[in-house]
């Protein structure tokens, strides 16, 4: 067993590979649900003249971009775009889709 594979499977302590974490998140995230909500709300991405509700593939592509950015910039709490929020929490990479959010300062 290779060292990174042992880490990814939890047999050794270190940062799991992007490929492993990405696969876990993409397999668990319900992109179809996000697409349905965006369609219902007419939540569009893109330039004004070309704005459209993103396809599931476009959602997956954007999520991958944000996850990779968050993975390589662990000192950044989270990265947000188009409703997605990706980052690190409790030493785990995360992805969520936010409709509403508030915080105190």
Q: What is the pLDDT of residues 30-49, one digit of tens each?
A: 999 999 999 999 999 998 88
The whole model's pTM is what?
0.85
User: Residues 22-50, buried b or exposed e (16+ Cβ, 10 A)?
Assistant: beebeeebebeebbeebeeeebebeeeee
Domain boundaries, the chain: 3-97
Q: What is the rounded CA–CA span in Å between residue 15 and residue 44?
A: 35
At 70-94, the pLDDT tens digits run 999 888 889 999 999 999 988 889 9
The sign of the dihedral angle between the CA atoms of 18, 20, 25, 27 is positive
Q: Report the alpha-carbon angle 68-90-104, nearest 5.
A: 95
């Amino acid at each position: 067993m290779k060292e990174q594979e042992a880490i990814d499977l939890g047999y050794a302590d270190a940062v799991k590979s992007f490929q492993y974490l990405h696969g876990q998140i993409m397999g668990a995230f319900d992109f179809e649900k996000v697409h349905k909500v965006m369609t219902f709300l007419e939540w569009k991405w893109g330039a004004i003249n070309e704005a459209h509700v993103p396809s599931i593939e476009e959602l997956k592509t954007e999520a991958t971009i944000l996850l990779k950015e968050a993975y390589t910039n662990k000192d950044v709490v989270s990265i947000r775009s188009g409703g997605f929020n990706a980052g690190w929490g409790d030493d785990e990479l995360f992805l969520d889709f936010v409709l509403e959010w508030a915080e105190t300062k």
